[in-house]
């Protein structure tokens, strides 16, 4: 009894001494509240919130590598330190993707490229604010609006910023329905948003959709080798789906594998949200830069969409430029929703999905480019 009381007093004393941890536990509680009460991306925010609470418990054996019950430490070493979790998630994402709209309308690949502008614009802004090149590149990749890519790049270039970059990337992913629509309405006119687009694409053969993931993997592996692991994982999942002969593997990839990996990844990322690493001035700057990157991506995509609107004789709805980011399939659905606000009969979803899948590929390539350019500078 006295031993238990002693442990309790020691735990309370440690909690008082490390009072900043209470702030981060409250942040974790806020994420849990948003996930449950507001249903804000619960699959992501609930595990992150739980991990944040556990990771800031004083004297917790779940995060201490010297303790037997170091659950979160074991998971981190097994899946995050070696970059396994982002790759597994990408297999699941690939199994859910359909590249037919993009293959039928390759012009919209340009919108996927435009949607990555925020990555490099934010990199420059971070350098101007005093961040090192490797840190600036890791912050810039938040503009991909792609959690796995952000984690993959940050864990390689700036592991000390991995927790904050992961949380910011996933948080802004969950805020796509809130952040994008006001920018879309601001930069487009009602006439532009009401533009109808007929969906009469060229037929895409089964041979093409099966060959596409193989060709892309080879091409990216040669041109941007640093992006090869991510693009290969994405295309493995897509090839499983398009082959039509391994439905059990497709089901496992888009359900059990991605769900279990997301759970473990969220718990580990949350456990890294310690007071020591988060309650700093740099954290606030990264939050602002992440929002800047997101906004810049959306603006660049919309502006390029307006260019296509003019060049096409007002036949391309510029809203689809906002889908050029990597938040698949959320961004495409948001474009459809905003278009239907002006005219319920306006159906641009398939065009937006073409830009959205291009944005997914673009973000992976952009991450590989950053790794290729920055790693030699920092001795990697």
46 with 132, same domain: the answer is: no
pTM of the entire predicted model: 0.86
367 with 268, same domain: the answer is yes
Same domain, 55 and 87: no
Tell me which long-range contacts 153-159 makes (C-beta under 8 A, separation of at least 24): 153/367, 153/370, 153/371, 155/80, 155/81, 155/83, 156/83, 156/371, 156/375, 156/380, 157/370, 157/371, 157/374, 157/375, 157/378, 157/380, 158/132, 158/134
Alpha carbons 26 and 28: distance in angstroms, whole number: 5
* Domain shared by 186 and 52, yes or no: no
**Is 92's pLDDT higher than 90?**
yes
For 224-266, write each residue's pLDDT tens digit: 998 899 999 999 999 999 999 999 999 999 999 999 999 998 8
pLDDT of residue 168: 85
Please give the structure tokens belonging to residue 334. Answer: 């948001």
Q: Is the pLDDT of residue 322 over 90?
A: yes
Domain boundary among 59, 84, 103: 59
Tokens of 271: 């456990």
Task: Please indicate, yes or no, whether residues 245 and 287 belong to a single structural domain of this protein.
Answer: yes
The residue from 14, 36, 59 where one domain ends is 59
Asked if 52 and 73 sit in the same domain, the reply is no
Query: Could you give the percent of the chain with pLDDT greater than 90?
Result: 57
Residue 29: which domain range? 1-59
Same domain, 196 and 337: yes
Euclidean distance between CA atoms 200 and 204, whole angstroms: 12
Reported as a single tens digit per residue, the pLDDT across 201-233 is 678 899 999 999 999 999 999 999 988 999 999
* Mean predicted confidence (pLDDT) in 125-134: 93
Domain boundary among 59, 94, 109: 59
pLDDT in the model for residue 63: 58
What pLDDT, on a 0 to 100 scale, did the predictor assign at position 60?
58
CA-to-CA distance for 93 and 144, rounded, in angstroms? Answer: 15
Per mean pLDDT, which range of 15-19, 98-102, 189-193 is the poorest?
A: 15-19
Same domain, yes or no, for 136 and 169? yes
Nearest to 323 by CA among 227, 197, 229, 220: 197
- Number of domains observed in the structure of the chain: 2
With tokens 């969950």, the residue in question is: 174
Looking at the fold, whether 51 and 100 belong to one and the same domain comes out as no
136, 113 contact by CB (below 8 A): no
- Give the mean pLDDT of the chain: 87
């Amino acid at each position: 009894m006295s031993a238990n009381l002693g442990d309790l007093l020691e735990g309370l004393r440690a909690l008082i001494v490390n009072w900043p941890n209470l702030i981060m536990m409250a942040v974790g509680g806020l994420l849990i509240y948003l996930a449950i009460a507001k249903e804000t991306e619960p699959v992501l925010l609930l595990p992150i919130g739980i991990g944040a609470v556990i990771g800031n418990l004083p004297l917790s054996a779940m995060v201490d590598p010297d303790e037997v019950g170091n659950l979160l430490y074991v998971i981190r070493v097994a899946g995050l330190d070696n970059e396994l979790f982002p790759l597994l998630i990408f297999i699941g994402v690939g199994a859910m993707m359909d590249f037919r709209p993009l293959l039928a309308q390759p012009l919209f690949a340009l919108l996927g490229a435009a949607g990555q502008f925020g990555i490099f614009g934010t990199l420059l802004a971070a350098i101007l604010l005093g961040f090192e090149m490797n840190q600036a590149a890791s912050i810039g990749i938040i503009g991909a609006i792609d959690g796995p890519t952000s984690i993959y790049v940050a864990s390689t270039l700036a592991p000390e910023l991995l927790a904050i970059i992961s949380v910011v990337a996933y948080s802004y992913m969950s805020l796509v329905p809130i952040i994008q629509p006001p920018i879309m309405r601001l930069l487009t006119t009602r006439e532009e948003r009401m533009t109808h687009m007929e969906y009469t694409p060229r037929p895409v053969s089964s041979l093409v959709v099966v060959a596409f993931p193989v060709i892309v993997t080879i091409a990216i592996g040669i041109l941007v080798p640093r992006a090869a692991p991510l693009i290969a994982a994405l295309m493995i999942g897509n090839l499983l789906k398009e082959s039509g002969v391994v439905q059990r593997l497709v089901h496992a990839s888009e359900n059990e594998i991605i769900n279990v990996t997301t759970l473990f990844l969220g718990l580990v990322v949350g456990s890294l949200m310690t007071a020591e690493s988060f309650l700093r001035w740099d954290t606030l700057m990264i939050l602002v830069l992440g929002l800047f990157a997101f906004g810049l991506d959306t603006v660049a995509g919309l502006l390029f969409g307006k260019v296509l609107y003019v060049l096409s004789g007002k036949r391309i709805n510029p809203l689809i430029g906002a889908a050029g980011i990597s938040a698949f399939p959320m961004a495409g659905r948001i474009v459809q929703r905003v278009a239907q606000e002006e005219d319920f009969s306006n159906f641009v979803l398939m065009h937006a999905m073409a830009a959205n899948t291009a944005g997914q590929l673009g973000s992976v390539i952009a991450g590989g480019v950053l790794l290729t350019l920055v790693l030699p500078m920092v001795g990697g």
